[in-house]
Structure 1
Amino acid sequence: MKKTLILTTALCGMAFGASAQEVNLLSWGGAYGNSHLEAYAKPFTAETGTAVNISDADNPATPIKAMVEAGNVTSDVASVEYADAVRLCDEGLLEEIDASALEAAEDGTAATDDYIEGGVTDCFVATDVYSMVLVYNDSQFEDAKPATPADFFDLEAFPGKRTMRKGAKFNLELALMADGVPADEVYATLETAEGVDRAFAKLDSIKDEVVWWEAGAQPPQLLADGEVSMAYAFNGRIFDAVQQDDQPFEIIWDGQIYEMEGWVIPMGAPNMDEALEFIAFSTAPANQARAAEFISYGPPRRSAAAMVGNIQGTEEPMGPNLPTSEENMTNALGSNLDFWVDYDSELNERFNAWLAG
């Protein structure tokens, strides 16, 4: 984990310089971390005078577990994937979050009723809906263009190396869809030994041509450098590379796997009151909508969806770029969060053994 920046804006320095209040936020860095900075941290500091110190990690769940178990907790709020939040909560490593402290929607609807299913649990409050998507470098395919999960595994028709996240999650589901399993049957298939074998057999077909990534910033860089022709990556990272760097990347929404990410509070957080205040502020509908204008992750609060405006700094609407937009959900798979809570350790052990073999 590396420290990336400390937020004490000029406003904070002038108006609240004597305040010792702070929130230590552990995020993911990159374009996603920037959305936390711009939509949440800066406005929170301006409104409350509480400084927000942002650090980043490849996966914040890992250092959170380590610091709590070591009894040396330095983070107050962390951004984690839903399955990690459930697992850490079950292990007693997270504080419970009082949902009644969350801001209601503008029409008075309670936050818990405003969220999509699973958006608020005992230890977790969702901030966004992201997805893993297939993407290709358009400059490397002059004629036929890949369009489906099956195409990602077709090295003959669509040559070039691939890059995939190092781990079982997402890859096993993708492999089954590419092998012809309908999206609504993927998890039932993965619950059988035969289904797991089938997924790994499909991964075997491209294993020698895969560059494995662990940090979300790696896939767009590998695509830009020409080291791979196709990637399996977070949609927001690809969106940012296209918008900010004018990269010729094309997202394949067919077969996207979407999931929630959100805030947790490590057990023993040093600034508990400020952490709760920050979570309530940042998950208000207007702030969730604002974050979606910086990176193409959909807000998990229903009332926030209609508030999302244009892509930051442009006149182009953000809506069509969100995983949750209707046209992008045609053949989408919702990550089965309960499945991964139950099988994460087992399948990652199998994946690591497969990778080493």
Structure 2
Amino acid sequence: MKKTMILTTALVATGFAASANEINVVSWGGAYTVSQVEAYHKPFEQLTGIKVVSIDADNPATPLKAQVEAGNVSIDLADVELSDAIRLCDEGLLEPIDPAILPPAPDGTPATEDFVDGALQDCAVANIVWGTVIAYDTTKFPENPPSTLADFFDLEKYPGKRGLLKAAKRSMEMALVADGVAPGEVYDVLGTPEGVDRALAKLDTIKDSVVWWDAGAQPPQLLADGEVVMTNGYNGRFFNAMIAEGKPFDIIWDGQYLDYDLWVIPKGAPNLEGAMEFLKFSTDTQRLADQAKYISYGPARKSSAPLVGMYQDGKTEMGPHMPTNPENMKNVIATDPIFWADHDVELSERFNAWLAS
């Protein structure tokens, strides 16, 4: 993991002991962490004087679980996916979070009514809604470009290498939808042996043409380097490549996989008080709207949506690039965190065995 120290000259806030003047925050790195640093970390430091140490991990749930189980915790706060938040909470590895501590919306609406459905969990508070989507290199398909999830699996019509997440989650759901399963029926199908076979059979059709990835920064780089012509990946990463870096990419929203990322605090966090203060600060209405200036992930609070405007370039409207834009949600796979909390181990074992075969 790479550590980046973010320094501040602000005074120590009243009520915080000198020994509690630093928090370690683990997130996913890249453009996503940059958006958090700009929207959350820097203003929090200026307000409180508490230093934020930003740490990158391919999946923050992994070091968090290892540290708590080893009884040697250095993480104060981590950004994790919804299914991981539920699983870690069920395993007793996280601090409970009372939603009553969260700030209300500017009009006084309680946080419990302001966050979108599913965003508040027993041990977690969501900050963003994000999508796993397909992106392609527009220079490879100047005429009749791909437009559906099924096109990703059509090597005859759209030849070339594909990038794909090296994991059962998302890859198997997307395969089923590409094979004709309605998004609302995906988990009913995937919960059967026949459904698992069907998902892997669909993945078999492109297996020999797949370049596997496991870190969020990889898909845009695979496209930019010409190693693949299409890849799945996180919509915000592709947005950054397209808008901030000017890459000739476009996104296929059909069959996007919609999920949350949430803040969690591990049991034994060295600065529990500071972590709670940061959590409250970073999930208020303004901070969640501010993050959308830097990356195209939807805020988890309803009151933040009207405050989302332009990208930091001052000319790109963020709305059309949000996974929650109505135009982008016509064929959405909504994650089922309970399903994955229950079936992640067995499906990952099956997927890995298929990969090795």
Q: TM-score range by the shorter chain?
A: over 0.9
Q: Which residue matches 1:237?
A: 237
Q: Which residue matches 1:303?
A: 303
Q: Which residue matches 1:6?
A: 5
Identity of aligned residues (%): 56
Q: Which residue matches 2:92?
A: 92
Q: Which amino acid aligns with 2:37?
A: L
Write the distance in 2 (CA, Å) between the matches of 1:248 and 1:224: 9
Name the SS of the counterpart of 2:299 in structure 1.
coil
Query: C-alpha displacement at 1:315, in angstroms?
Result: 2.1
What is the aligned length?
A: 353
Q: Which residue matches 1:215?
A: 215
Write the distance in 1 (CA, Å) between the matches of 2:192 and 2:280: 41
Name the SS of the counterpart of 1:324 in structure 2.
coil
Decide whether the 8 Å contact of 1:19 with 1:49 is kept in 2: no
What is the correspondence of 1:31-70 to structure 2 with a 5 Å cutoff? 31-70=31-70
Name the SS of the counterpart of 1:97 in structure 2.
coil
Name the SS of the counterpart of 2:23 in structure 1.
strand
Write the distance in 1 (CA, Å) between the matches of 2:342 and 2:41: 34
Which stretch of structure 1 is more off in the superposition, 109-118 or 261-270? 109-118
Q: Which amino acid aligns with 1:278?
A: F
Query: C-alpha displacement at 1:263, in angstroms?
Result: 0.2
2:110 matches 1:104: no
Q: Which residue matches 1:156?
A: 156
Decide whether the 8 Å contact of 1:105 with 1:111 is kept in 2: yes
Normalising to structure 1: TM-score of the pair? Answer: 0.97
**CA distances 1:180-219 after superposition (whole Å, capped 9, x unpaired):** 1111111111111111110000000001111111110000
Query: C-alpha displacement at 1:317, in angstroms?
Result: 1.4
Q: Which residue matches 2:338?
A: 338
Query: C-alpha displacement at 1:161, in angstroms?
Result: 0.5
**CA distances 1:114-164 after superposition (whole Å, capped 9, x unpaired):** 111111111000000000001100011122211111100000100110011
Q: Which amino acid aligns with 1:341?
A: A
Name the SS of the counterpart of 2:288 in structure 1.
helix
Q: Which residue matches 2:134?
A: 134
Query: C-alpha displacement at 1:289, in angstroms?
Result: 0.5
Query: C-alpha displacement at 1:19, in angstroms?
Result: 4.8
Write the distance in 1 (CA, Å) between the matches of 2:170 and 2:209: 18
Write the distance in 2 (CA, Å) between the matches of 1:60 and 1:183: 28
Write the distance in 2 (CA, Å) between the matches of 1:216 and 1:283: 23
Write the distance in 2 (CA, Å) between the matches of 1:189 and 1:177: 10
Write the distance in 2 (CA, Å) between the matches of 1:184 and 1:218: 29
Query: C-alpha displacement at 1:99, in angstroms?
Result: 1.4
Q: Which residue matches 2:194?
A: 194
2:322 matches 1:322: yes
Query: C-alpha displacement at 1:313, in angstroms?
Result: 2.3
Q: Which residue matches 1:80?
A: 80
Which stretch of structure 1 is more off in the superposition, 168-177 or 182-191? 182-191
Query: C-alpha displacement at 1:73, in angstroms?
Result: 0.4
**CA distances 1:23-46 after superposition (whole Å, capped 9, x unpaired):** 110011000000110000000001
Query: C-alpha displacement at 1:243, in angstroms?
Result: 1.5
Write the distance in 2 (CA, Å) between the matches of 1:91 and 1:182: 32
Query: C-alpha displacement at 1:16, in angstroms?
Result: 4.4
**CA distances 1:266-304 after superposition (whole Å, capped 9, x unpaired):** 110000000000000000011001001111000111111
